[in-house]
Amino acid sequence: MKKIAIACQGGGSHCAFTGGVLAALLRQVRVDDEHRLVLDGHEIVGLSGTSGGAVSAYLAWLDLLRLRAGQRLADDAPLAVERFWRGNTAQLFGRFPYDLLTNLTVVGLASLEGTLPTLASTPNAATRAIQAHMKAQIEAAAGDLSFLQPILEAEGSLQPARAKALRPAPGNFPVLLLGAANVNQGTFEPFIGTPSHPPSTDQIVASTALPDVFPSVGIATPTKTARHGAAAEGEDAPATAYYWDGLLSQNPPISDFLGFADRAAKPDEIWIVRINPVARRNGAGRIAIEPPTRATEIADRRNELAGNLSLEQEKRFIRRVNAMHDKGALSAAGRNRYKKVALWGISLDGWSDVPEDERQPEGGWREVRLKTRRMHTQVLDYATKLLRSPLFLAELDALGREAAQEFLEHRRALREGVEPAAAATAVAGAQAATTV
């Protein structure tokens, strides 16, 4: 049975789309006789996420563990990821006075970026309160975690480490990778979570800590270097490291899935839930010819490109390894260590990556529009990543569920040898010489 990992890109409130995607996928997961989590005929071995994607991935990861522990996901009961995004909506009379009006004001000011002089923002008492409230929302959505206790008692504590140090063992999968940036050291290693060593809520919050808005989050991190005489050289010494939003590092982590010491544990496919579009398109869906010129358009496109930078670099690395496989450029040791990984995409704008037909090894990756989907209430620009109105989040959630269903139907049609209608709108990707 092939293995898959699901990676969730960050993007503020737009990640309500991710919540819808994951909720739809979770409803179709089953546990087989070997206690494997099976989706679309594949075993789920990992999830990853950054910022809002990290919150969604973490909560979906918990529901997967509940399912494997024998807790049925009732159709009429909300999943953890659903509870969070429903609870995250701004209400007129919510926890904070006039929460909805305040949120709309913030979105309005963000939409004027580049058109009016603005003061530099820094974390303050209000944003600290919002950060604490978000942490409470995550914990409330996660629910009772006592079902993990038997795993913790059976496995013991697994030292959090780089993914390459993890080996397949009962209870250690699926693994969870959370993107975050170490503020002072500049390291981009993700937080690692396993069923026997679940991540802390602070690690989830750290992945969402935008530097201009929220304070960095301190995480106690073991280190081999003695600090201020706390421990002898070579011994573990607890130290506090401070982290910012994972958008500054990996958005989301995907190449770390390939770091497992055991080749068989690595995923054969990575499904990427993408928030930021790759290409800038016009109203007809064609790639734009002229660059953005208005200040708000420039700010919007700059945000999209920055959010995609690390992801595209990691995808390029995987495609190069795939191409080396195809061209016989790897040694026997290299083939035993690395495997080909197919990259699939579920994108908010509908333009998603799909692998080429393996019978055409010289073909490139393709970008396919599975179906025309449009937001009816808002234009999806940078400012709306801050918008938490109930109608807006509900529509994003619905689009996510629709996108997940289209994605699974597209895959099934390909397996059955039926050329999906969406393939007529396929566009060859830039890496024309590689296979995903």
Q: Which residues contact 421 (CB under 8 A, 6 or more apart)?
A: none
Q: What share of the chain is helix, strand, coil (3-state, %, to 5)?
A: 40, 20, 40
pLDDT attached to residue 149: 77
Mean pLDDT in residue range 202-220: 90
Alpha-carbon gap, residue 307 to 329, rounded angstroms: 32
Is residue 373 domain-resident? Answer: yes
Is residue 426 domain-resident? Answer: no
pLDDT bracket for residue 23 (50, 70, 90): very high
Q: Would you say 87 and 138 are in contact if contact means Cβ atoms under 8 Å apart? A: no
Domain that holds residue 340: 2-223+238-416
Mean pLDDT in residue range 30-36: 91
Is residue 282 domain-resident? Answer: yes
Q: Which of 431, 430, 434, 413 is nearest to 422 (CA)?
A: 413
Mean pLDDT in residue range 396-410: 93
Is residue 301 domain-resident? Answer: yes
Is residue 433 domain-resident? Answer: no
Distance, first Cα to last Cα, the chain: 19
pLDDT in tens, 420-436: 654 444 444 433 322 22
Statement: residue 154 has pLDDT above 80: no
pLDDT attached to residue 172: 80
Is residue 395 domain-resident? Answer: yes
pLDDT in tens, 374-386: 665 556 877 788 8
Number of domains present in the structure of the chain: 1
pLDDT in tens, 290-344: 888 888 788 888 888 988 999 999 998 898 888 888 888 888 888 888 889 999 9
Alpha-carbon gap, residue 284 to 293, rounded angstroms: 19
Alpha-carbon gap, residue 107 to 101, rounded angstroms: 10
Integer-rounded Cα radius of gyration of the chain: 22
CATH of the domain at 95: 3.40.1090
Is residue 432 domain-resident? Answer: no
